[in-house]
Amino acid sequence: MSEEIQYNTLGEFWPFYLREHSNKFNRFLHFVGTSIALAWILSSIVFLNAWYLLGALFSGYLFAWIGHFFVEKNRPATFTYPVKSFLSDWRMFFYTITGQLGKELQKAGVK
């Protein structure tokens, strides 16, 4: 039985997170889900309706989990590291829209 590595900080977790998202289509699905989630969050603020936040959670995780289970064929890090994974999803989204993701993937050893 192999021992699982523990990631204590977000900095330690980030390269692992990127390696778990090595498939470009999986990253695309994450981007779509996070974009839809952002639209739900903004709608929640504009229309003062907290129920829209459920749409944000559902859309964000639906696309991400499809990417993991059917494309990447790995277990979402959310199950082990929910907060670090959530924060890393937004970090990956930010790096994608700012054109910096390629550099981050390269540093993590993702081709």
pLDDT for the residue numbered 62: 97
pLDDT at 67 over 60: yes
Query: Please, what is the Cα angle at 94 between 110 and 51, to 5 degrees?
Result: 120
d(CA 39, CA 86): 17
Q: Which of 63, 77, 79 is nearest to 26 (CA)?
A: 63
| pTM, 2 dp | 0.92
User: How much of the chain exceeds pLDDT 70, in percent?
Assistant: 97
pLDDT 10s digits, 11-51: 999 999 999 999 999 999 999 999 999 999 999 999 999 99
pLDDT for the residue numbered 1: 44
What number of other Cβ atoms are within 10 A of residue 73's Cβ? 10
